Amino acid sequence: MTPTASPRGGVLARLRRLRQEALGMNRRNLVFLVPHNPRRLFAVVDHKPTAKRALAAAGIPTPPTYAEIALQWDLRHLVRMLGAHTEFVVKPARGAGGGGVLVIVGRAPAGFVRASGALLSLRDLASHCADILAGAFSLGGRADEVLLEARVHPDAVLGAVSFRGVPDVRVLVFRGVPIQAMIRLPTRASDGRANLHMGGLAVGIDLATGTTVHGWLRGRATATHPDLGRSVLGLAVPEWDTVLALAARCYDAVPLGYLGVDVVLDAESGPLVLELNARPGLTIQLANRRGLRPVMEALASRDLAQLTLTERVRLGQELAGSARCRLP
C-alpha cells in the first residue's frame, strides 16, 4: 500500500518550489536589475519625452505628442497648445505608477470631460498642470514637465474587457528576450487607469500563443472583470507577434537588460509603445502563475549577441513554454 503524502508535506514542497522559482525584490535588484541596467539609461527611461525620442529614432511607433510644457509661464498658452483636440492625455514627464495622469475624452461648454465622466474646468486643468510642473507626481519630487499626448482608442478585443480606460500589455524583456507578459485592465477602482497598484486587473498571457490564461486582482485570482462581469480568460491578444517584436526592439533602442515595455493596441494605428520601465514590478508572476527565476537564470549567462530579433522572440517563447515554474 502506497503511503499517502501528508498535507504538511505538500505545503512544504510547494513552498520549496516557490522559493526556487519565484523572483523576489532583493534578487531582482541585486542579480538582474543593477548588473544589467546601466545607470546612464535610467535618465532616458525616467523622462518620457526623451524615451519617446529614442524610440522614434529606432522607428518604434508611439502615441503622438501634442506639446511639452516646461515652465509655469507657458501655461498661459495651454488653450493654444491644445488647439482643436477634443481628446488628449496629460502626463508628468517624470511620473511613475500612473500618478498625475489625466485622461480627457471630450469637451463641454463648462470645460473638459474626464474618462470617469467628471467635468474639469480650464482653470482646474491648468492647476493640475501646475502641480505636475512643481513636482507633485515626479520621482523624488523634482520639478517636472507636462506631456500632452494623443489619447489611444483601444481595439475591440481588449476594449471589451476594459472599464472606461485604455488597457495595455506589459511585456517583460530580459537581455532583449521577451520572457513574460500580462494585460493590465482598467477598473472602476483604478479610475480608468491600467496601473495595478491603483486597482487595475492583471491578466497573464501565454507567451507562445498570445492567449490570456489567469487573472489577478488585489491579491486574489479571478476569471472575470470586477465591473463588467466578463471573462478575461481565453482572449487572443490581437497582433501578438507584432507586440512581442516591438517589445524586443525597445531593448535595441534603449539597451536596458531588465526592461518593462508597455504596449497599447490602438483601434486605428495598431500596437504602439506607450512607456518603458527600468524597474518593472513582479506581480506579472502572479498574473501568469509562473516564476521568473528559471527563465532569467537560463538567459543570464547565455551568449545572445548574434541572435536576430526573430530568434530572440522565438527563444523567449520556447523558454516560457518549457520552464516548469507554475506557482502554487
Q: Please give the CATH architecture assigned to the domain spanning 22-62+154-322.
A: 2-Layer Sandwich (3.30)
> pLDDT tens digits for 131-167?
999 999 987 778 999 999 999 999 999 999 999 889 9
pLDDT per residue over 161-196, tens digit each?
999 889 999 999 999 999 999 999 999 888 778 888
pLDDT at 327: 44
Could you give the CA distance from residue 94 to residue 139 in angstroms, rounded to a whole number?
6
d(CA 98, CA 50): 18
Q: φ and ψ at 73, to 5 degrees?
A: -60, -30
- In the predicted model, residues of the chain with pLDDT beneath 50 are 1, 324-328
Position 225 scores a pLDDT of: 96
Phi-psi region of 269 (alpha: psi -120 to 50; beta: other; left: phi over 0): alpha
